[in-house]
Amino acid sequence: MSSSHSETRSLLDEMRNFNKGSVFDLGHPLLNRIAESFVKAAAIGAVQAVCREAYFTAVEGAGIDSGRAEVDGARRDSFSKLRGETNRKSVEALVKGTGKESLQWGFAVGMYSGLTYGLKEARGAHDWKNSAIAGALTGMALAFTSEDVSHEQVVQSAITGAAISTAANLLTGIF
């Protein structure tokens, strides 16, 4: 009976054990951590991008104002070329946009995870200072992935990254 139970593991069991085992073995804990963080965050980014676009497509199909921002009088869509002339162009735009967003999520989380691990190893402590430095550097790097980046955007992203990661570190023990 135990052999049949192990063969019919549920999706919930797989998700519970996802964090316990190491998906990658690249020869060094830092590389393993970066790769695992990247893959997990990229998957989350892809799901988020597809769900967001499905929501906006459903809302616009129903004729409800979706509340998307208007910039200079023109609607600004998350995947602006999604409404192509053919279904093939729409699918290509969705895949391209989802891939870009997945890479951004994976890049940000992989970089943050690697920096916090490296700082912990270098300083010998895992504290809010490591989180602030890693968050600021990750925020700066993420700002450079957007189009038409300005000095102000880089600084704001660094401050936001440092603030969010520091708050998360400090609130970990509370919740």
Q: How confident is the model over 126-155, as pLDDT tens digits? A: 899 999 999 999 999 999 988 888 999 999
43 belongs to a structural domain: yes
Whole-Å CA distances, 104 to 46, 88, 114, 138: 10, 24, 15, 11
So what's the pLDDT on residue 1?
47
Instruction: Tally the C-alpha atoms within 13 A of residue 19's C-alpha that lie toward its C-beta.
Output: 3
79 domain-assigned: yes
Does 126 reside within a domain?
A: no
Pairing mode, strands 74-75 and 70-71: antiparallel
Residue partners of 44: CB distance under 8 A and separation at least 6: 105
56-70, 85-99, 123-137, 161-175: which has the minimum mean pLDDT?
Answer: 56-70
Is the model's pLDDT at 174 over the cut of 90? Answer: no
pLDDT in tens, 32-83: 889 998 999 999 999 998 998 888 878 877 777 656 544 333 344 555 555 5
pLDDT of residue 153: 94
Structural domain including 69 reads 25-102
- Return the amino acid letter for 14: E
pTM over 0.75: no
Q: Are 111 and 137 in contact (CB under 8 A)?
A: yes
Q: How many domains does the chain have?
A: 1
